[in-house]
Amino acid sequence: MTAETYGLPEFSTMSPEACAAEIREAVARHAGVMERIGSEAAPPTIASTLLPFEQAQIALEQPVHLAWTFIQSVGGGQWEQVETEITPLLAAHNNDVYLDRRLYRRFEDLAAQRIDAETAWTVSEHLKVFRAHGAQLPPESQNRLRKLNAELAELSSSIGQRIVRAGQSGALALTEEETAGLSPAQRTGLAAFAAANPERAQGCPYLLSLTLPTQQGLASSLTNPSVRQRIFAASLTRGDGHDEATDTRELIAQVVKLRAELAELLGYAKYAEYVAAQSTAGSTQAIDTLLDSMVEPTQRNVEREACELEDFYSRSAQGNAPFLPADWTFAQEALRASRFNMDNSELSSYLELTNVVENGVFYAATKLYGLQFTSRPDLRGYTEDVRVWEVQEEDGTPLGLFLGDYYAREGKRGGAWMHSLSMRATNGSDYAIILNNLNLTKPGEGEPTLLTWDQVTTCFHEFGHALHAFLTDVQWPSAAGTNVPRDFVEFPSQVNEMWAANPEVLDHYARHWETGEPLPARLREALSESEGFAEGFNTSEILQAVLLDQAWHRMAMADEFPEAEGITAFEMAALERAGVASAWIPPRYRTSYFNHIFSSGYAAGYYSYLWSEALDADTVDWFTSAGAKGQDGGLNREAGERMRSCILSRGNSRNPMDGFEELRGRSVDTGALLRRRRLS
């Protein structure tokens, strides 16, 4: 099938100016459709109200999703200008739609009619969105909401841009000696980045860019303590005011105040309560029940690991230097290698990117769901690094296209994510176009892209989101795939991580990049034996970030909000109060570069990763017990089809938690999560 049949854009013809113009035209067309629906005199029907509402949304989303692909994955000054222009435009238009009392009343009338269960749920979800935006409020409150939403949209855009610039300006130039401990492939990638950015490299042969989380992956391999300290300090101080151009603090202070006011206008004491009410959690009390159970055992694990690492470090070749927080991940990986006889650089030589994706990620999807993948080098992405695959059912029925954009580049947003250009639905698009983004350091010409184990699981994780999209089977586009509550969306992707270590899948992709030899038994055993190692560290950094997010969004209008200069003090006090502050381990994201909650839609919702992991851990238990056949760990079509029918195909066409309970035959057992993270 051709690119045109699938609806794949001709990326090479796209310019920032053309994308912005197309969005302006799409907004005008969408406004016209909304006006026709709202002014309709006849009683609402599915055909006159829900169908045109849904299809008009698709027409609006297509150019918007395309623009965001370039804004997030390509970046640069011109695309930042597009973001700055379209963000307030879309926010204002969104207000026009969801504060329109005529539309709201028509959906209320639809909800009172006798309609099929899936459509009734979709109508109720639309009503939830209208109410969450304040459609039921008096005009004066709606006017204030419009202003708040416009301000928040602009602030969010500005914060995201500053976080990107902070990562760029914080790049560290390194000498040959300072890269001691890195593999040849890692050095080649840093050298290529330095060559592409000579001004930042300042004559040094290597340049290390900062990734989004606090801990920088390469630091765990660097043997020079002073270099690790430089990287650690550069990462922690992003956006903290030392560089005016990247200072996010004042903008964040404004966002927190505005969100508290928005929540109060909508009838909630705190923004976190407003977010929880729209999610599967339902309340902040339910969130606290999970989080509180994790605090004390996590702190115990951190203290134990700190003593263990400090002792190990003092006995190592670098024992003449004091053990500092910047040394934690280096000592942790050295201890892992010593205890489990596992050399990470050796392991990486068996984890080449294309093998991981095509013979690992895709292989698991074929075994579970019968999906077929065909490389399409004739189809072009938005940069030369983007690869395209065609995705089909086992019988050859086309589902859509998968685009993999795995390398970091100047201007690209940090981290890893999935997003869509189109989503399948009976009353929507026929095909899905799904993208996965990572931020791997691109190797030199002819060199392999070798992954760490964490990067392997990230590949499986992000493709779990893609599966949620490709396997959707719903009537209405708004219910398709990943269009589920924020605290459910990570669940299928986290489950998909389990297949990275499945013995059969591992056999299929873990091959030496030069010789094709399979992963040696000792490394396979080391991976298995090291499962659960460093869970104190892993849980602490994410739990701190979750509780920091909750602290910022549990402020009420009557509280005293910190100004820019007080943000660090607020952060430390919040972590101390929650009982998770650590002298050794910083949060996965500090406030000043917490892109998820201040620029990417996870405000008061970062708990979703742990909430979804509770569902995930319980589901993994099902796969490896009731879903398993012999010793396959659940890697079979019957188990996959049940996961598909209960969860992946249903999207938000019913309460997503109903699907989980159908799969498990009961509500979630959080004990599975506590056991996985060594907290029970």
- Catalytic positions, please? 462
How far is the C-alpha of 132 from the C-alpha of 263, rounded, in Å? 9
Rounded alpha-carbon distances, angstroms, from residue 75 to 63, 71, 79, 195, 318: 16, 5, 6, 19, 41
Residue 172, both tokens = 């560290």
Question: What is d(CA 241, CA 5) in angstroms, rounded to the nearest whole number?
Answer: 49
Distance CA 621, CA 633 (A): 10
Half-sphere exposure at residue 43, Cβ-oriented, CA atoms within 13 angstroms: 6
Backbone angles phi, psi at 119, to 5 degrees: -65, -40
| Residue whose tokens read 């309609």 | 115
Residue 171, phi-psi category: left (phi > 0), alpha (psi -120 to 50), beta (remainder): beta
- 158 vs 81: CA distance, rounded Å: 11
Nearest 10 degrees: CA dihedral of 487, 493, 495, 499? -170
**69 Cβ partners below 8 Å, 6+ apart?**
382, 419, 421, 435
Residue with tokens 């989101």: 465
φ/ψ of 449, rounded to 5, equals -95, 100
Q: Is 113 left (phi over 0), alpha (psi -120 to 50) or beta?
A: beta
Sequential DSSP letters for 222-235:
---HHHHHHHHHHH
Contact status, residue 67 vs residue 23, Cβ threshold 8 Å: yes
Residue with tokens 């300290």: 229
* Coil, strand or helix at 519: coil
Tell me how far apart the alpha carbons of residues 349 and 602 are, in angstroms, rounded to a whole number: 35
Eight-class DSSP state of 517: P
